[in-house]
Amino acid sequence: MGYSSPTQSGIMEDMDLSLKEFSLFGSTLTVGAMLGAAIGGKVTDLLGRKGTMWILNVLYIGGWFAIAFAKVPWLLDLGRLSLGSVSGITGFLMPLYIAEITPKDLRGRISAIVPLMVCWGLSFIYLVGSFVNWRTLALIATIPGLLQLPLLYFVPESPRWLAKVGREKEVEDVLLCLRGEKVDISEEATEIKDYTESLRSVSKGSTLDVFQRTYARPLLIMAGLMALQSLGGIGAFAFYSGAIIQSAGISSLIGLITLAAVQTLLGLLGVMLLDKAGRRPLLLVSFAGLCFGSFLTGLSFFLKDFNWWDDGTPILALIGLLMYMGSSVLGAGIPWLLIAEVFPVNVKGSAGSICNLINNVFAWVISYYFNFLIQWSSAGVFFIFSAFCAANYILVAKFIPETKGKKLEEIQESVTHSLQ
């Protein structure tokens, strides 16, 4: 996600790209993510969570190699498209898999590690990208995929997916692997099997099941949450943090190092608080921070355009950027966790694909047009982002339920009834 930020000038110079062509390269990630999102739910249902991980690693490594050794622009875009498809599927697969393997009292805390890992990945790319050229940076980025390939052998399959496809005998073995050999998993195994069996009796397993009245309102709310999150500019801030910092007149290195430190601290705070404070309060705090952070960033550009408070505008821009990116890592993973928690296993793939696709369609719009919008009005684009974040705050306050400390089956039964 962060690759285009520190490499923009290097790629444009070496590959002789115009701003439009580089915007296409940056936004191709979200085009690939749209394709991945469209098929991600079905792929994870057909191949399993672990089987999908194998394929994603191959696409991930291949995408980075295509970028690293590109001699023509279309190969850059092809590599970025491959990485985007990985991003599109992984955005749904990560919280889904974590929600399905973790016990209820740890589910939020472990899920909160995901945006923290994204934060560290972004920070690593920002910092290392300040010292190495874009081809070397792409090769460095292959390392996580190369490391994960052999380690996937030791990763267990999701017990809930095994129950869904009729491999009941393996459910207990996987739960023993996850919980420990001395733990009594009989009650949890029986609950998973019984609930999955009850879903079979009311559902044929069709993609269209998610449009039943039972799931229609939860789907609409979650899709709205994802759309507004993308329209709130989270992709633009992630892709172009370096450019935002430079436009505000701040040293890139100082700005990015400070950004990495703030995101890490708030990410760790999210890990500690998600199972204590709950999903809803943290989501409200996160969207309030996104709204105010984007507003401050817009205000700094507004003051800069009129040459007001020249000494203070760079500081104001940095504060706004830090508040926005810190708030995003605090709560960005919660909507994905809610999707994994709220929908039962028979429609989870379809619901996840729809929400993921909507998220990535709007993310593409923002990532492609951001460079042009910021030329139109640097201040105006961030004020627009702020308005969308405020709308998302209202959506969460009115419609999102609390799910902490509950078993998945318990959440799904209560939410589908309460949101009908």
Instruction: Report the amino acid identity of residue 295.
Output: F
Structure tokens at 158: 């999701």
- Interior/surface letters 157-195, b for 16+ CB within 10 angstroms, e for the rest: bbbbbbbbeeeeeebbbbbbbbeeeeeebeebbeebbeb
Instruction: Report the amino acid identity of residue 90.
Output: T
Confidence of residue 279 (pLDDT cuts 50, 70, 90): confident
Residues 6+ apart with CB under 8 A from 417: none
Please tell me the distance from the alpha carbon of residue 149 to that of residue 308, in angstroms, as a whole number: 54
Q: What is the model's pLDDT at position 215? A: 78
Q: Is the per-residue pLDDT at 418 higher than 60?
A: no
Structure tokens at 320: 């706004």
> Residues 298-324: pLDDT tens digits?
898 888 877 787 777 778 878 888 888
Please state, in angstroms and as integers, the Cα–Cα distance from residue 318 to each residue in 2, 123, 254, 256, 314, following that order.
Answer: 18, 16, 10, 10, 6
Structure tokens at 396: 């969460």
- The domain 210-419 is placed in CATH, from the list 3.40.50.620, 3.90.330.10, 3.40.50.300, 1.20.1250.20, at 1.20.1250.20
Which helix or strand (DSSP H or E) is residue 328 part of?
helix 313-331
* Least confident residue range of 59-63, 81-85, 101-105, 159-163: 101-105
Q: Is the per-residue pLDDT at 198 higher than 80?
A: no
Mapped onto helix, strand or coil, the DSSP state of residue 156 is coil
Q: What is the model's pLDDT at position 41? A: 80
Q: What is the model's pLDDT at position 66? A: 95
Please state, in angstroms and as integers, the Cα–Cα distance from residue 37 to each residue in 20, 77, 89, 103, 312, following that order.
Answer: 25, 18, 5, 27, 42
User: DSSP assignment, residue 58?
Assistant: H
Q: Is the per-residue pLDDT at 194 higher than 70?
A: yes
Q: What is the model's pLDDT at position 284? A: 92
Please tell me the distance from the alpha carbon of residue 340 to that of residue 104, in angstroms, as a whole number: 13
Confidence of residue 290 (pLDDT cuts 50, 70, 90): very high
CA torsion sign for 317, 268, 150, 32 is negative
Q: What is the model's pLDDT at position 197? A: 74
**Helix, strand, coil shares, percent, the chain, to 5:** 85, 0, 15
Instruction: For tokens 């269209």, name the residue.
Output: 208
Q: What is the model's pLDDT at position 395? A: 93
Percentage of residues of the chain with pLDDT beyond 90: 23
Q: What is the model's pLDDT at position 51? A: 92
Mapped onto helix, strand or coil, the DSSP state of residue 64 is helix
> Residues 349-392: pLDDT tens digits?
778 788 888 888 888 788 777 777 777 887 888 999 999 999 99
Portions of the chain given CATH number 1.20.1250.20: 1-155, 210-419
Quote the mean pLDDT of the chain: 83
The alpha carbon of residue 29 and the mean position of all alpha carbons in its chain are separated, in whole angstroms, by 13
Q: What is the model's pLDDT at position 207? A: 61
> Residues 237-266: pLDDT tens digits?
766 676 667 766 667 677 777 777 887 888
Query: If you average pLDDT over residues 41-63, what whole number do you get?
Result: 92
Please give the sequence-ordered ranges of beta strands (E in DSSP) within 207-307, or none if there are none: none
> Residues 53-72: pLDDT tens digits?
999 999 999 999 999 999 99
Please tell me the distance from the alpha carbon of residue 27 to that of residue 367, in angstroms, as a whole number: 5
User: 257, 388 in Cβ contact below 8 A?
Assistant: no
Question: Which of the two residues, 334 and 208, has the higher pLDDT score?
Answer: 334
Query: If you average pLDDT over residues 164-171, what whole number do you get?
Result: 86
* Least confident residue range of 103-112, 125-134, 283-292: 103-112
Query: If you average pLDDT over residues 218-241, what whole number do you get?
Result: 83
CATH fold for domain 1-155 = Growth Hormone; Chain: A; (1.20.1250)
Residue 24 C-beta-side C-alpha neighbours within 13 Å: 12
Q: What is the model's pLDDT at position 369? A: 78
Q: What is the model's pLDDT at position 390? A: 95
Answering whether pTM is above 0.85, one says no
Q: What is the model's pLDDT at position 257? A: 75
